């Protein structure tokens, strides 16, 4: 390697994806690259130049990509800095660029001929992965850095992202369903195992017996030990495929209160995963926390469980759990805790035994409704009910509001701050019958002003959390029919969504506020959430999570899956930054009330700054799609 290539090698080692490529592949690329110079204002590549013939990496200076869509200059420009590459999409598709790229200061670019670019794709797996899954690849690199940082302060943890096939420790121990109970108990004792699975002749699981079952179903009832084992087994089985991830088994154990998950492939039992096989998070197992919540008889116990949830969250960050799974965990356990608070207050107030017991549903709204909670989540909730015969809606409301107030106050004690806008079930405005909710939504859809729709948007994210869930499902189906074809309503939602822009500047990296910080929630997450909500309503998608809304709407919108996944990965990265920000603040002693979504971009490492810029660019692309769909 000559001196020139050595200096170039040092430069490329600082930037993705070259920092992960084989040195021989990087050297091969350097030998074929040339350094080009562009003066301030010079066009580097444009649609008019035809099929792109070079892959370009910025060595020094800055390049501005000008998008060919209607809108203001700020809305149509993106900025590329040192180490970033461009024209990837055009090179992969053998087409001209869609945007014009211009030097905005004197700029040097390394350029690799298209023919060599495609050769490198074939020889370097790391380069190919980056080029075809750009933001996903960067996100994975960032996640590995995060995990390494956390592992410096955390003990070794088994990864929640491992497939169950990698966790299975041995072949499952099974028996015939007709085997005598006595024989199976003797075998379990001999083998020192805590469970036995009965299978049929094809290897399909029929039932499971665990040690707790022995006491409850055999010892205490003093049953006949010569009867078939299937008579005393649990036949309601929870099973997952070998390809399912550990976090899915952990969630099943936590929500269903079980210790074992069957691993089934093509209906055949291939393994058994236990709680001990998975992991222990700071010596607190997921099933244990779930059991503590379900069996809690006081708010004090639930306060302790809320602290355990925060401990689990920290360790999940250490394990490198992806944002999508992480927020599923947080939402699942917060749901369990909230449902238990509700049940305790219903029991104390007599609601559980009243005519209202099976006629009301507690609904989650906002981020909780979208399964996107972080460690900084206030309350957004509501009640929907059916009016029992002989009562009026006002009479039902009079009974429910005091109970809802106690629930809101108890949730606050468990770490969920009261909503400052009073969007809570204890507000008479949001404790409504099914018919009242339909009238409320219809008024927003047909008569709502832009300002009213701005404040009501989180109500469109509702989902059932506790009680008569069919009421919320009926409301959702009615809403999709009522709203999907109302062009005026959707246009107003789109106009509101475009009022919040990703904080990218034309002549600098980020547009920051007075504190020189970015609001990751308002300017980062919100553009994705708002656009996904609009697309899902228009497409008749019933999902409430932003990710599922985008995926579910893609076909009707005729958006390529790769484009949708780029939006989703961008959204997830911003969520990752929020989660890390909250976790660091919590470990430093901040209270729930102190947590915010403000970060200083200058304190991010180079990789995270680069991904954040790319994430904001994806938000712009998503808003550009919104602009085209609704002619804004």
How confident is the model over 581-620, as pLDDT tens digits?
A: 887 787 777 776 677 889 998 888 877 888 888 889 899 8
Whether residue 369 has pLDDT greater than 90: yes
Q: Which of 45-49, 434-438, 485-489 has the lowest mean pLDDT?
A: 485-489
Confidence of residue 408 (pLDDT cuts 50, 70, 90): very high
pLDDT score, position 40: 94
CA nearest to 502, candidates 408, 602, 571, 433: 571
Compute the average pLDDT of residues 357-367: 94
Percent above pLDDT 70 for the chain: 90
Compute the average pLDDT of residues 149-164: 56
Of residues 320 and 583, the one with the higher pLDDT is: 583
Compute the average pLDDT of residues 407-433: 94
Confidence of residue 73 (pLDDT cuts 50, 70, 90): very low
pLDDT score, position 285: 57
pLDDT score, position 74: 40
- Range 6-9 contact pairs with CB under 8 angstroms and sequence separation of 24 or more: 8/33, 8/110
Of residues 77 and 97, the one with the higher pLDDT is: 97
Whether residue 71 has pLDDT greater than 60: no
**Taking the CA of residue 355 as centre, how many other CA atoms within 13 Å lie in the half-sphere pointing to its CB?**
9
**Cα–Cα distance, 248 to 161 (Å, whole number):** 9
pLDDT score, position 283: 42
Whether residue 281 has pLDDT greater than 50: no
User: In this structure, are residues 336 and 312 in contact, taking their beta carbons and an 8 Å threshold?
Assistant: no
Of residues 467 and 157, the one with the higher pLDDT is: 467
**Cα–Cα distance, 181 to 179 (Å, whole number):** 6
Per residue in 532-576, pLDDT (tens digit) is 999 999 999 999 999 999 999 998 888 888 889 889 989 988 988
Query: What does DSSP assign to residue 398?
Result: H
pLDDT score, position 160: 64
| Residue 189 in tokens | 């004792």
Which region, left, alpha or beta, applies to residue 164 given φ > 0 means left and ψ of -120 to 50 means alpha? alpha
Confidence of residue 320 (pLDDT cuts 50, 70, 90): low
The three-class DSSP label of residue 432 is strand
Per residue in 214-260, pLDDT (tens digit) is 988 998 888 999 999 999 999 999 999 999 988 788 888 877 878 89
Of residues 136 and 247, the one with the higher pLDDT is: 247
Query: What does DSSP assign to residue 388?
Result: P
**Cα–Cα distance, 136 to 569 (Å, whole number):** 6
pLDDT score, position 508: 53
The three-class DSSP label of residue 557 is helix
pLDDT score, position 287: 67
Burial class of residue 108 in the structure, from the number of CB atoms within 10 Å of its CB (0-12 exposed, 13-18 middle, 19+ buried): middle
| Residue 491 in tokens | 């246009």
Would you say how long the chain is, in residues?
A: 632
Question: What strand order describes the sheet that includes 107-113?
Answer: 34-38, 107-113, 54-60, 85-86
**Cα–Cα distance, 437 to 430 (Å, whole number):** 8
Compute the average pLDDT of residues 476-505: 90
pLDDT score, position 45: 94
User: In this structure, are residues 441 and 383 in contact, taking their beta carbons and an 8 Å threshold?
Assistant: no
Query: Which residues, including other chains, have CB under 8 Å from residue 499's CB and lie 6 or more apart?
Result: none
Whether residue 200 has pLDDT greater than 50: yes
598 phi/psi in degrees, rounded to 5: -100, 125
How does the average pLDDT of the chain come out, rounded? 86
pLDDT score, position 384: 98
Strands 360-364 and 239-240, sheet pairing = unpaired
pLDDT score, position 168: 80
Confidence of residue 161 (pLDDT cuts 50, 70, 90): low
Whether residue 140 has pLDDT greater than 70: no
Whether residue 339 has pLDDT greater than 50: yes
User: In this structure, are residues 65 and 100 in contact, taking their beta carbons and an 8 Å threshold?
Assistant: yes
pLDDT score, position 16: 84
Confidence of residue 150 (pLDDT cuts 50, 70, 90): low
**Cα–Cα distance, 15 to 8 (Å, whole number):** 12
pLDDT score, position 511: 76
The three-class DSSP label of residue 193 is coil
Confidence of residue 72 (pLDDT cuts 50, 70, 90): very low
CA angle in degrees (0–180, nearest 5) for 342-462-560 = 140
Per residue in 285-303, pLDDT (tens digit) is 566 778 889 888 889 889 8
Helix orientation angle between 323-349 and 246-256, rounded to the nearest 10 degrees: 0
């Amino acid at each position: 390697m000559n001196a020139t290539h050595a200096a170039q090698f040092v430069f490329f080692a600082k930037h993705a994806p070259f920092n992960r490529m084989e040195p021989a592949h990087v050297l091969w690329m350097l030998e074929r690259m040339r350094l080009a110079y562009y003066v301030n204002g010079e066009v580097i590549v444009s649609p008019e130049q035809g099929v792109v013939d070079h892959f370009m990496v910025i060595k020094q200076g800055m390049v501005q990509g000008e998008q060919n869509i209607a809108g203001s200059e700020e809305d149509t420009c993106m900025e590329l800095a040192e180490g970033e590459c461009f024209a990837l999409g055009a090179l992969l598709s053998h087409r001209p660029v869609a945007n014009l790229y211009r030097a905005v200061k004197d700029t040097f670019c390394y350029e690799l001929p298209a023919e060599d670019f495609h050769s490198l794709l074939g020889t370097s797996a790391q380069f190919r992965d980056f080029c075809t899954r750009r933001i996903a690849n960067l996100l994975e690199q960032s996640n590995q850095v995060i995990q390494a940082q956390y592992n410096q302060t955390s003990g070794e943890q088994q990864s929640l992202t491992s497939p169950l096939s990698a966790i299975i420790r041995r072949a499952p121990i099974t028996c015939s369903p007709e085997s005598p109970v006595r024989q199976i108990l003797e075998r379990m004792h001999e083998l020192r195992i805590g469970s036995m699975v009965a299978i049929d002749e094809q290897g399909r699981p029929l039932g499971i017996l665990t040690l707790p079952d022995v006491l409850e179903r055999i010892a205490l009832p003093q049953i006949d030990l010569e009867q078939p084992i299937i008579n005393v087994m649990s036949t309601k089985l929870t099973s997952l495929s070998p390809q399912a991830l550990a976090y899915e088994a952990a969630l099943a154990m936590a929500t269903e209160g079980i210790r074992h998950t069957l691993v089934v492939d093509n209906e055949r039992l291939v393994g058994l995963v236990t709680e001990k096989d998975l992991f222990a998070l700071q010596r607190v197992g997921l099933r244990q926390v779930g059991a503590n919540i379900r069996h809690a008889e006081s708010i004090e116990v639930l306060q302790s469980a809320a602290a355990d949830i925060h401990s689990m969250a920290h360790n999940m960050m250490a394990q490198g759990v992806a944002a999508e799974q992480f927020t599923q965990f947080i939402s699942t356990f917060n749901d369990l805790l909230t449902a238990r608070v509700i049940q305790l207050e219903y029991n104390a107030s007599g609601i559980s035994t009243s005519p209202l017991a099976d006629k009301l549903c507690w609904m989650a709204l906002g981020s909780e409704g979208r399964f996107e909670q972080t460690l900084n989540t206030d309350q957004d909730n509501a009640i929907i009910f059916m009016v029992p015969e002989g009562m009026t809606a006002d009479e039902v409301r009079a009974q429910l509001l005091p109970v809802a107030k106690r629930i809101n106050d108890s949730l606050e004690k468990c770490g969920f701050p009261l909503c400052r806008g009073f969007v809570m079930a204890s507000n008479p405005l949001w404790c409504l019958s099914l018919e009242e909710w339909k009238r409320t939504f219809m008024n927003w859809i047909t008569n709502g002003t832009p300002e009213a729709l701005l404040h009501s948007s989180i109500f469109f994210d509702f989902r059932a959390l506790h009680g008569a869930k069919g009421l919320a499902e009926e409301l959702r189906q009615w809403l999709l029919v009522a709203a999907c074809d109302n062009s005026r309503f959707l246009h107003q939602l789109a106009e509101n969504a475009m009022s919040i822009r990703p904080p990218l500047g034309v002549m600098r990296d980020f547009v920051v506020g007075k504190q020189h910080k970015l609001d990751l929630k308002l300017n980062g997450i919100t553009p994705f959430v708002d656009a996904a909500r609009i697309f899902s309503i228009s497409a008749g998608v019933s999902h409430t999570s932003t990710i599922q809304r985008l995926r579910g709407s893609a076909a009707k919108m005729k958006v390529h899956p790769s484009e949708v996944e780029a939006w989703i990965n961008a959204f997830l990265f911003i969520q990752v930054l929020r989660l890390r920000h909250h976790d660091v603040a919590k470990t430093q002693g901040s209270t729930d009330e102190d947590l915010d979504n403000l970060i200083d971009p200058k304190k991010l490492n180079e990789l995270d700054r680069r991904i954040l810029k790319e994430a904001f660019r994806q938000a712009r692309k998503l808003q550009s799609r919104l602009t085209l769909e609704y002619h804004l």
